[in-house]
Amino acid sequence: EAGVTQFPSHSVIEKGQTVTLRCDPISGHDNLYWYRRVMGKEIKFLLHFVKESKQDESGMPNNRFLAERTGGTYSTLKVQPAELEDSGVYFCASSPLGGVTDTQYFGPGTRLTVL
Amino acid sequence: AQSVAQPEDQVNVAEGNPLTVKCTYSVSGNPYLFWYVQYPNRGLQFLLKYITGDNLVKGSYGFEAEFNKSQTSFHLKKPSALVSDSALYFCAVRVLGNNNDMRFGAGTRLTVKP
């Protein structure tokens, strides 16, 4: 079974540009999560999809971030315009059930560098 | 609010020795605790979790963790470390009623030397 995949693995952009990150969850997993790890600190929750619906987006830092999951399969996270503080590693995770005890399976992450 | 602390940024052990990676938590309610490992250029891999029942949880690659409610800890252990265990380890906690918020620690880098 294929795991969670993310594209690209690395992205280097200049401040003010736009970047779109993609996540393909494990097939059949209705729940998809985005997280971010900045500057070697803790991994922080950004948002949670159940199928194509946003269940919780309380962790999104501001309105420069837009996440979508059209059709309830893969998801994209767009940052527009990017700022220096957006640099970090963006992780995607998926799980089948979404409950508090459910294991989330993570992708390899996208390392974003904003210059 | 819930939080997780990993008090050690770095842990160094010799191959063959036992290893411990520490994790303490602070929650209001019953905690559900997880350990993940990140190998270089790889994603976070699930190691084990504590939901309920036996306080000693066994997971992948010979790792285990002990839930200690009185000390609010969930330390990760392995009896005999391997060089291949060298990686970044993350502890995380979730609480019933706050399903979407998995709180992670800052991570502990484990280095096992031959």
* Residues in B touching A43 (Cβ below 8 Å): 44, 90, 92, 104, 107
Mean pLDDT of A12-23: 97
Q: What does the pLDDT look like over B25-57, one tens digit per residue?
A: 998 888 899 999 999 878 899 999 999 889 999
**Integer CA distances (angstroms), B55 to A61, B26, B73, in order:** 36, 17, 11
Q: What is the DSSP letter of B75?
A: E
Contact B98 A100 (CB under 8 A): yes
User: Containing H/E element for B68?
Assistant: strand B64-68
Contact A40 B107 (CB under 8 A): yes
Quote the pLDDT of residue B42.
83
Q: What is the mean pLDDT of chain B?
A: 92
Q: Is B42 on the interface with A (CB under 8 A)?
A: yes
Amino acid B28 reads S
> Strand pairing partners for B35?
B48, B91
Q: What is the mean pLDDT of chain A?
A: 93
* Closest Cβ–Cβ partner in B46, B95, B104 for A42: B104
* Residues in A touching B5 (Cβ below 8 Å): none
CB B45 within 8 A of CB B36: yes
**Residues composing chain A:** 115
CA distance A88 to A12: 11
Contact B46 A104 (CB under 8 A): yes
Least confident window among A98-107, B42-51, B92-101: B92-101
DSSP for A18-69, written as a single string:
-EEEEEE--TT--EEEEEEE-TT--EEEEEEEETTEEEE-TT--STTEEEE-
Mean pLDDT of B70-94: 96
CA distance A39 to A87: 8
Quote the pLDDT of residue B18.
97
Residue A70 pLDDT greater than 70, yes or no = yes
Q: Is A106 on the interface with B (CB under 8 A)?
A: yes
Mean pLDDT of B56-63: 94
Quote the pLDDT of residue B29.
84
Quote the pLDDT of residue A62.
92
User: Containing H/E element for A71?
Assistant: none
Contact B100 A56 (CB under 8 A): yes
Quote the pLDDT of residue A1.
61
